[in-house]
Chains A and B, each alone.
Chain A
C-alpha cells in the first residue's frame, strides 16, 4: 500500500448504529487529519493529530470521536449520527511544520457516508 488509505470506501448506517472509519498513512508523516466534505461547501477540518497530540475543533459534535493510536493510524468513531452528517469524510497526513514553512497534506480517497 502507498499513500493514504481509507476503509470502508462506502458506508450506510442508521441513526442508532455505531461504526468506525479507518485511515492509514504510509508516508512517514507525523500529523493526521479528519475533514468533512459536503456538497457545495468547503472542506471542513474536524480534527488534527500532531505528534500524536490531538488538536480538536470545538464545533465538532460529540457523536464524532477520533482516535490516533500511533502516527500511522487514525480512526473516526461514529455513533447516533444524524442525516445531515451524510458526507464524504477525508483523511489526510503531513509532516508537522512547527512553524515555517507549512507542509502540504496528502489525502486519502475518502469514505462516502450515508446516514438513513
Chain B
C-alpha cells in the first residue's frame, strides 16, 4: 500500500524567509510524484510532476526535488500570496488505473 507523509503540518514564515516542505513516501515502484497547491474552499492546483530520483523542477519561487524516499518543495523568498496548503501525492506501479495517494498537506502561512 502506497503511503505519503508530509511535514510539517503547518509552517509560518515571514515574507522573504526561505524554507522547505517535506514529503516522505513509500511506494512499490514510483510512477510519479505530484505537488499541488490548494487555497481555502478551492480545488487543488497542479504544480509539478517528478518521475525519478535526482529530478528537479522550478516555477517562480518554488523548486521541487526528488530522492528515492522523499521530495522537498523549496520556497525561496516567499510572498504572502504563497500562503496555501501544499499537497503531495504519489502513484505507484502496483496501482491499477491512475490512482493517487495523497498526504495530509502542509499549511503554509507567509506573513508580510
Query: Interface segment, A13-21, A40-48, A59-67, A68-76?
Result: A40-48
- How far is the CB of A31 from the nearest CB of chain B, in Å? 5
Q: How many residue pairs at the A-B interface have CB separations less than 8 Å?
A: 72
Assess whether A94 is interfacial by the CB under 8 Å rule.
Answer: yes
Most chain A CB atoms below 10 A, which of B34, B44, B45, B96? B44
Tell me whether A50 and B42 are in contact (CB under 8 A).
no
Report the Cα distance A98→B36, complex, angstroms. Answer: 22
A81 adjacent to chain B (CB < 8 Å): no
Whether, in the assembled complex, B64 has its beta carbon less than 8 Å from a beta carbon of chain A, the answer is no
Cα A106 to Cα B105 in complex, Å, equals: 17
Once the chains bind, are A55 and B96 in contact (CB under 8 Å)? yes
B43 touches A90 (CB 8 A): yes
Q: How far is the CA of A38 from the CA of B25 in the complex (A)?
A: 21
Flag A91-116 by CB within 8 Å of B: 1 or 0 each.
01010110011111111111010000
The total of chain B residues at the interface (CB under 8 A) is: 26
Given A43-B87, A101-B51, the answer on whether A94 and B42 have CB atoms closer than 8 Å is no
| Contact A96 to B31, CB < 8 A, known contacts A4-B43, A104-B49, A108-B43 | no
B4, B41, B100: which contacts A112 (Cβ < 8 A)?
B41
**Top 7 nearest A-B pairs by Cβ distance?**
A102-B32, A107-B43, A102-B31, A43-B102, A102-B91, A42-B102, A55-B97
In the bound assembly, the distance between CA atoms of A42 and B102 in angstroms comes to 6
Find out whether the CB atom of B104 lies under 8 angstroms from the CB atom of A40. Answer: yes
The answer to whether A110 and B43 touch (CB under 8 A), given A42-B4, A42-B103, A101-B51, is yes
| Chain B residues whose CB sits within 8 angstroms of the CB of A88 once the complex forms | 41
Q: How many angstroms from the CA of A108 to the CA of B46 in the assembled complex?
A: 11
**B44 interface neighbour in A31, A90, A112, Cβ under 8 Å:** A90
B46, closest chain A residue (CB) = A104
A96 and B98 contact, CB distance less than 8 A: yes
Q: Which residues of B contact A33 (CB under 8 A)?
A: 98
> Which chain B residues border A42 with CB–CB below 8 Å?
4, 101-105
